[in-house]
């Protein structure tokens, strides 16, 4: 899961200008990549396509790709930024605007939808 999510970020070498299909978040929005669900259960049984789809759509963890220019700028609401580019964050299931690029799920969320940061996102699922 972590390795697949990191591949998105590694596609463009650091410091090089390159066209990208990823949108730049405007205002107070945050762009997240959602990890692809595992293809199998811990027991080794293969998950049905519908099960994997539900797990992907209801994901509660995302990887911060970009933070909009106005995110966390309201000093009355935020004492500090709740997350930064490169963090894994905990979010509510189904929150934000979902879209796919080349079959990879992304989500655009508002800055106040971040519930917390996550050190190791493996094993998180919706309860």
As a whole number of Å, the end-to-end CA separation of the chain is: 19
What integer pLDDT is reported at residue 14 of this predicted model?
Answer: 52
Q: Report how far residue 34's alpha carbon sits from residue 14's, in angstroms, rounded to the nearest whole number.
A: 22
Q: Report how far residue 81's alpha carbon sits from residue 116's, in angstroms, rounded to the nearest whole number.
A: 11
In this prediction, what percent of the chain has a pLDDT beyond 70? 85
Domains and CATH numbers, the chain: 2-6+25-118 (2.30.33.40)
Q: Which residue has the higher pLDDT, 37 or 11?
A: 37
pLDDT single digits (tens) 69-112 = 999 999 999 999 999 999 999 999 999 999 988 888 899 999 99
Model confidence, pTM: 0.80
Contact (CB, 8 A) for 96 and 57: no
Question: Please, which pLDDT band fits residue 18 given cuts at 50, 70 and 90?
Answer: low
Which residues make Cβ contacts (< 8 Å) with residue 84, sequence separation at least 6? 64, 67
> Token digits for 2?
């972590």
Look at the alpha carbons of 99, 101, 103, 107 in this order and tell me if their dihedral is positive or negative. negative
């Amino acid at each position: 899961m972590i390795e697949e999510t990191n591949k998105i970020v590694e596609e463009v070498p650091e410091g090089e200008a390159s066209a990208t299909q990823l949108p730049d978040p405007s205002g107070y929005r945050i762009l997240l990549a959602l990890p692809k669900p595992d293809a199998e259960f811990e027991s080794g049984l293969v998950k049905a396509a519908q099960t994997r789809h539900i797990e992907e759509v209801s994901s509660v963890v995302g990887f911060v790709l970009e933070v909009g220019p106005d995110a966390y700028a309201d000093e009355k609401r935020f004492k500090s930024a709740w997350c930064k580019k490169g963090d894994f964050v905990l979010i509510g299931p189904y929150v934000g605007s979902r879209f796919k690029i080349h079959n990879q799920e992304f989500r655009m969320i508002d800055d106040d939808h971040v519930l917390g940061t996550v050190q190791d996102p493996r094993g998180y699922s919706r309860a």
